[in-house]
Structure 1
Amino acid sequence: VKMFECYLSKSPQNLNQRMDVFYLQPECSSSTDSPVWYTSTSLDRNTLENMLVRVLLVKDIYDKDNYELDEDTD
């Protein structure tokens, strides 16, 4: 919940009430102390799909490594 609240706080204020945009493109020129980290433009579907594939691959690798570690300790 805290991460989502941070995301909202760093998003453009005019988008907080919109339900049709959620995953926003990062603002290229922002720094950690900038009030806004994201643009008003949504990420396109292809970008979201690629991100999801990477997240799932990392999860699979992590799960496999943990499974192998569990077997080694048995």
Structure 2
Amino acid sequence: MSLRTALLVLAFVPGIALVALWGVTSGQTLFDFQRQAGQGLLAEKAGQLSNETTPEEDELLKTGLPGAAHVLAQPY
């Protein structure tokens, strides 16, 4: 093997490995971002559902029962 060929191999092999590692880490980062974004949307939806009141709860609030507003305001 000539010196020129050896130098070319030493220059390109690490470069190719670096590009491959960059591609893998970029893919993992994108996958993690999408997973976390999906979890955030799920958490938002769950929070929205818990903020709604049922007709029974609305009736308790309208009748003015002592402590009804305090009990209904507590998170489940």
Whether TM-score is above 0.5 comes out as no
TM-score, normalising length from structure 2?
0.41
Higher strand share: 1
Higher helix share: 2
